[in-house]
Amino acid sequence: MNTPDLAAIRAQFPILSEKIYGKDLVYLDNGASAQKPRAVIDAMVHAMEHQYANIHRGLHWMSERTTDVYEQTRDLAAGLMNAASREEIIFVRNSTEAINLVAHSFGRHLLKPGQAVLISEMEHHSNIVPWQMLRDACGIELRVAPITDDGELDFPAFEALLADGKVGLVAITHMSNVLGTYLPAERVIQTAHAAGALVLLDGSQAIVHRAVDVQTLGCDFYAWTGHKLYGPTGIGVLWGRKALLEAMPPFLGGGDMISSVTFAHSEWARVPHKFEAGTPAILEGIGLGAAIKFVQNLGYDAIAAHEAALTEYGLAHIGEIPGLTIWGHAKDRGGVISFTMDGAHPHDIATLLDRQGIAVRAGHHCAEPLMRRLGLNATARASFAAYTTYGEIDALVAGLRRVREFLA
């Protein structure tokens, strides 16, 4: 990805031309939420201005046209992940809801007391709390696989936790939102399956940076969220194997997830609609479709190559700053760099960078157990996107040097 291509990509994002405190915006908080290209904005505005109506149940022109555009996103999502069929794509609000759906519908009804769910030390709260709730409600054991000091999965320990055959589900991140670590997903899945466990991957970060093929991976569930993939908030995807989804009861009850209702009994709609109760996020679904097209037009090979080079550049230059520690040194990592600075709280770092027009994240990143594992309360975090430039990393490095001088 050369500079002219990058300039053309950035031109598609109106917000990147904004000034913050009179300075050019340097947006490095993409791990929390990415900015939106013009194509996403226009798709949602067009739907509101020209064809908006509720979907699936209407027989008039507006409803039928809106339904068609919304359902095209299901096909796009299936294609993005190489799902076996569009029926395996369930629309949810975000990854959190996707994981809760699996915890409730699969965990409460298909796991048995005495079985276990296995997660890792590097999980986001959205892949911890639902399993704690399941443990407390249903007597499911919750096991936690440790990580190494470099921020990689401790694979021998992971295997040992599977050895007794009691683990029914491994629910694990595909890429850490704090350390940038990519897990060896295919090895994790093969090992889990050999021990009789199914696998859910939290792909909230991973699908943004690299191609995901669920059939090649061999996982059983895959969750991700639209707003990190250049789409709107309020829309995400749970992919699941169709046979599993058909065996699972609904997560929520209401309209559109039924085939018939009496006061005595209700019959469920077929998957995926069985899991999509009520009026969905129609405009957001349309926006997600535009975001998927945007990513596909860029191509994952180009995105991955660009971000790998950015990450290498960022690690080298940020790591040269005296008194600064980078956390996580996995061999396979994505475009996320978490760091601390001697004598500076991460919140102060983020505030002082903000005054220079540089947006980074600071805090525990919804991964408090991981912070405790690292012996920290918080880190600052810079995270990259397809539109991130080397100049923005240079600006971050210069900004961090000013922070160090200010706090010295």
pLDDT of 4 over the 50 cut: no
What is the distance between the alpha carbons of residues 189 and 408, in angstroms, rounded to a whole number? 48
pLDDT band at 125 (very low <50, low <70, confident <90, very high): very high
pLDDT of 350 over the 60 cut: yes
Cα–Cα distance list, 380 to 9, 133, 311, 333 (Å): 27, 30, 16, 17
CATH 3.40.640.10 domain position(s) in the chain: 42-296
pLDDT value at residue 202:
98
* CATH of the structural domain 42-296, one choice from 2.60.40.10, 3.40.640.10, 3.40.190.170, 3.30.420.40: 3.40.640.10
HSE (side-chain half, CA atoms, 13 Å) at 324:
27
| Catalytic one of 366, 377, 394, 401 | 366
pLDDT value at residue 57:
82
In this structure, are strands 324-327 and 361-363 parallel, antiparallel, or unpaired?
A: unpaired
pLDDT value at residue 406:
87
> What pTM value is reported for the model?
0.96
Rounded mean pLDDT of 343-358?
Answer: 96
pLDDT band at 58 (very low <50, low <70, confident <90, very high): confident
pLDDT value at residue 281:
97
Please state which CATH number belongs to domain 3-30+299-407.
3.90.1150.10
What is the distance between the alpha carbons of residues 251 and 253, in angstroms, rounded to a whole number? 7
Q: ∠ CA 86-91-94 to the nearest 5 degrees?
A: 140
**Which percentage of the chain shows pLDDT scores above 90?**
96
Active site residue 366: yes
**213's tokens:** 């093929």
Query: How far is Cα of residue 38 from the mean position of the Cα atoms in its chain?
Result: 22
| Tens of pLDDT, residues 306-325 | 999 999 999 999 999 999 99
CATH 3.90.1150.10 domain position(s) in the chain: 3-30+299-407
